[in-house]
Amino acid sequence: MGFREIIVIMLIFAISISSNTCEGLSEDKLVRIKSHLLKSQIGDKEISVVATCASSDNTIGPVTLHPYSNNMEFKFKTNAFGETVFRCTFNINNVEHKFVIFNNQRGIYGENCWILADGGPCLCDCKNENCYEKSQDAKCFKYDS
């Protein structure tokens, strides 16, 4: 066996080890979105939200969210480089709002719960039993657009 063949075998071995290692680095994540929007400017009607979220690989929705009722939930593995991004579009009273619901900075929990509130989405840890009560631990954001 010559020098070239040895180098090729070493490269193939290194690539196979790194791909297995990278796959092991990806994490299971959960995103859950729930609406707490109750009243519209028009009257005492419930505000339903139509939500669609997408990454470069997946699209989830559209899902209609009703206040304090159902939720939208999806699980995924982050990519090996930690660059997974999910962008959501929320149609609220025929007004479209966009928001990055998951990225490195916003995916800080294993189970990320988002509450759609009047001022924008609020993030909390789903494992926190007070999460949906808009606990003091929630981090609130404004919509991106």
Domain map of the chain by residue range? 26-140
Q: Is the peptide bond before 121 cis (omega within 30 degrees of 0)?
A: no
What value does the mean pLDDT of the chain take? 78
CATH for 26-140?
2.60.40
Q: Residue 13 pLDDT more than 90?
A: no
What pTM value is reported for the model?
0.73
Exposure string (b/e) for 67-102, b if CB count within 10 Å is 16 or more?
A: beeebbebebebbeeeebbbbbbbebeeeebebbbb
CB 134 within 8 A of CB 117: yes
Instruction: Read off the pLDDT of residues 23-81 as tens digits, 9 standing for 90 and up.
Output: 445 678 888 888 876 554 445 667 788 999 999 988 999 999 887 778 888 888 888 77
Q: Which of 94, 120, 139, 108 is nearest to 36 (CA)?
A: 120
